[in-house]
Structure 1
């Protein structure tokens, strides 16, 4: 009873925030932004906070049951974010019950050793990987995964959410988002240095590996369509707004859902140091097959892409957003993007790392991006993510949000 009382209280707080007029208005701004309307005020968002070092009383867990405790943690973090460093973050006006998927895997299990553990409250650590792709014989291990719905676990999620949110919010099944980052997976099987050498020394082998992963992802997309479990109402694609007027919001239990109804996203972070031609040859041409099956696409993460936008434009006809990082040239990026895509700018988290915002550097970064987007009529947003530390002082996140909004107020030209 104690756990239920705690969850009902938190659910009531969440529902009040989620059903507020302010919150309900945010997704339409996202939709307008994703319609490439450069007059939309750039959203300001914070994700991937170092929750483990934020010792605020509001975040302290009190439930005992593991399932209750997991939901309690999610609710407390959502409420805390909205109260302390919300920016333009939107809460969903319903409770989600995740569809549980069984996936047998593609034939490999990552073998790694954590070489440096995080010293702060983040989940970030350094890894050393065992090479499982030493030669062509390793390719024989690839398998197309068996994918099924765990009906019992899914029903348990629905029952749990319904019990907690009864009379407060409706419950909706949450489906699967499409994400095809095989150049995150390949280095875990082969090692980063081995991958970089083999792109040059053994290109045929690396093409065979990329082809194997592409077939796995093609199979997964097909199975998700057959199982009718694709998610059509994502508010965020890995920290960036996903609401759009161009794709339908459907009910998993009532409507037929295909890949053409949803976003797909990918990236190749380890390709930060390779040429545009090599990036296109070993990643983009393969992801093109996957993106072509979907409604809209989003590309990039932490890799600089300002000099690779012509290749993205050539390959992805449904591309809507491009990630531009602190290691990219925002002037070159905005000039090439123009009004054709959303420039999703990922701000430098080093500016909050000390626990006190480094105002001058952070402000210059945002001003440069806004000025570039103003010149080129480029729709944009500002996202702070990959925050490995704020030195235990969460107020730095609030200060960052306030600073960015101040710069937008002064510099942005709709």
Structure 2
């Protein structure tokens, strides 16, 4: 049971989030993200993703009740970076409770082995498909379920504690990292088998991609019919730690976008889609266009706007390839991408250059090599003078005890941006 002391503490945190959300700085950031996503030029926006090193910066939780601790951590997730980092993240004007959506994929049990080292992120799958010529018949349509009553109960609890201070919403992020066909292929059959199948069993690989694509579209339709889709066109993640503020979405006027009030009438065409194909990075452009692009075009057509890419370099597959996907609004430019090449290809396109700097600067070693980082980011700024740019720092798994380098990196980045 949540104690009176815990309730008062949570109310204090909620009041602090409300204060930050209503601040002049936050209001200005909302305007900047909206203009940025509308392709209106301005200074590059920067966000440092904290999920991967959250345990290093999250203060010790003060609550002891499990429900109170969950609420406390969600509140701190917004408060800590606002004070510790000072990047361009927007503080939401609501407390959001996640809706849990379960997907039992393809009627198969995927066994995942993880490292015995609890600090490691390493894992491997035992792949259920070994031979596409004989194993495709093992695939079954995925089944979907959700526990909306549980989410509503959690939302009601939070509202009872601080609803008079901070509104409480239910948020469905189940599709944020779900619509990734080639990831599912590799989970099912392994990377080596995936690559070899393009040569040995191309027809069967097309059948597999067709099955997965249809299954994903069926999942999208199910969420629409269940009325559980929630907005991602505001202070919500619409891709890799970037915010979805836009006047282009939703695609039409909605009667209800609040899941706490009942079924929403949001469709996928009202939303951003986050999609990538990191697993196909080792194949030729021709193979990408044959075995990947047609299915990705079909999936992207389901959405309003698209954030495309993650760590895969895209300079070799954009012109004549990805540029056929007309609703890509943001393209991930990873550390492995030829910046000069992709910058030239993006000129005149309605696409934001979403730069992902190497995580080594912040994630390897205690100290930030300021000179090397400055030269690295200045190169980005120099080749993108005619483009809309954002910078997303991701995959930093440890700060080695030095949180100060986060603000230092932002200062250097902004100094480089000022020279554009």
TM-score (norm 2): 0.89
Q: Provide the residue aligned with 1:389 in structure 2.
A: 398
Q: Provide the residue aligned with 1:85 in structure 2.
A: 85
Q: Provide the residue aligned with 1:17 in structure 2.
A: 20
Q: Provide the residue aligned with 1:351 in structure 2.
A: 361
Q: Provide the residue aligned with 2:335 in structure 1.
A: 326
Q: 2:293 touches 2:322 (CA, 8 Å); kept in 1?
A: no
The whole-number CA distance in structure 1 between the counterparts of 2:84 and 2:39 is: 29
Q: Provide the residue aligned with 2:190 in structure 1.
A: 191
CA deviation after TM superposition for structure 1 residue 66, in Å: 2.2
Q: Does 1:289 align with 2:301?
A: no
Cα deviation, 1:52-85, whole Å, max 9, x if unaligned, reads 662x5x6111222222212212222321111111
Q: Which structure 2 residues correspond to residues 346-385 of structure 1 after superposition, within 5 A? A: 346-352=356-362, 353-374=364-385, 377-385=386-394
Q: Provide the residue aligned with 1:30 in structure 2.
A: 33
| RMSD of aligned Cα (Å) | 2.1
The whole-number CA distance in structure 2 between the counterparts of 1:110 and 1:398 is: 41
The whole-number CA distance in structure 1 between the counterparts of 2:140 and 2:399 is: 42
- Give structure 1 stretches of 5+ with no counterpart: none
- Equivalent in 137, 141, 144 of residue 144 of structure 1: 141
Secondary structure of the equivalent of 1:219? helix
Q: Does 1:135 align with 2:137?
A: no
- Which stretch shows the higher mean deviation, 207-216 or 246-255? 246-255
Q: Does 1:126 align with 2:125?
A: no
Where do 4+ consecutive residues of structure 1 move more than 6 Å?
none
Q: 1:53 touches 1:392 (CA, 8 Å); kept in 2?
A: no
Aligned residues, how many? 402
CA deviation after TM superposition for structure 1 residue 154, in Å: 2.2
- Give structure 2 stretches of 5+ with no counterpart: none
- Determine which structure has greater relative contact order: mean sequence separation of CA pairs < 8 Å that are 6+ residues apart, divided by chain length: 1
The whole-number CA distance in structure 2 between the counterparts of 1:113 and 1:247 is: 40
Q: Does 1:270 align with 2:269?
A: no
Change (3 A) 1:115 1:202: farther
TM-score (norm 1): 0.90
- Which stretch shows the higher mean deviation, 398-407 or 164-173? 164-173
The whole-number CA distance in structure 2 between the counterparts of 1:259 and 1:95 is: 23
Secondary structure of the equivalent of 1:240? coil
CA deviation after TM superposition for structure 1 residue 115, in Å: 4.4
Q: 1:98 touches 1:157 (CA, 8 Å); kept in 2?
A: no
Q: 2:181 touches 2:209 (CA, 8 Å); kept in 1?
A: yes
